[in-house]
Amino acid sequence: MAKFRYRMQSILDIKEKIESQEKIAYSQANAELQVEQDKLTKLMIRRAGYERDLKAATVGDLDFNEIKRLKAAIETMKVLVREQMMNVHIAEKRVEEARARLDAVMKERKTHENLKEKAFEEFKAEMNAEENKVTDELVSYTYGKNEDGEE
């Protein structure tokens, strides 16, 4: 019996390799996003700490130098938080782009897999037709031989 061989198997293999590379790129982009979000969270916690310290410094004995230092620290933290929000936004865009590329590659691979399945179904149909043809020839030969022997 003939063996099925998909003529575009090498293309399918390449599509699978590209898909695995895009999955890696997507996971790296996600990891970078997580790092940027963690940095933002730490900055926000630090800013909240400075604000809490400022509120505590304005109660009781007033140390104007400390109050001035804390206000400057809060303003600096506001700038850093804003910059980090931009970094998070950039990382989110990278994740979206990586996801879009991964989706496109997955669709291409799936298309080639569907083509392979279709080719296999056609191969099975051809093999089935060939089997039926051989069976018909055998039956015809056997029937013809029996009629020759009866006469």
pLDDT given at position 139: 83
The whole-angstrom separation of Cα 29 and Cα 36 is: 11
Tell whether the model's pLDDT for residue 27 goes beyond 80. yes
Residue 59 tokens, joined: 């109660």
DSSP 89-124: HHHHHHHHHHHHHHHHHHHHHHHHHHHHHHHHHHHH
Quick one: pLDDT band at residue 148, thresholds 50, 70, 90? low
For 70-125, the pLDDT digits (tens) are: 999 999 999 999 999 999 999 999 999 999 999 999 999 999 999 999 999 999 99
53-70 residue pLDDT tens: 999 988 888 888 999 999
Both tokens of 38, joined, read 């963690």
Q: Which residue has the tokens 């996801």?
A: 99
Predicted pLDDT at 149: 57
Q: Other CB atoms closer than 10 Å to residue 84's CB: what's the count?
A: 18
> What are the extents of the domains in the chain?
9-109
Longest Cα–Cα distance in the chain:
130
> Which residue blocks in 1-63 are alpha helix, DSSP H?
9-57
Is residue 43's pLDDT more than 80? yes
- What average pLDDT does the chain have? 92
Q: What is the C-alpha separation between 119 and 112, in angstroms, rounded?
A: 10
Three-state DSSP class for 61? Answer: coil
Rg of the Cα atoms in the chain: 36
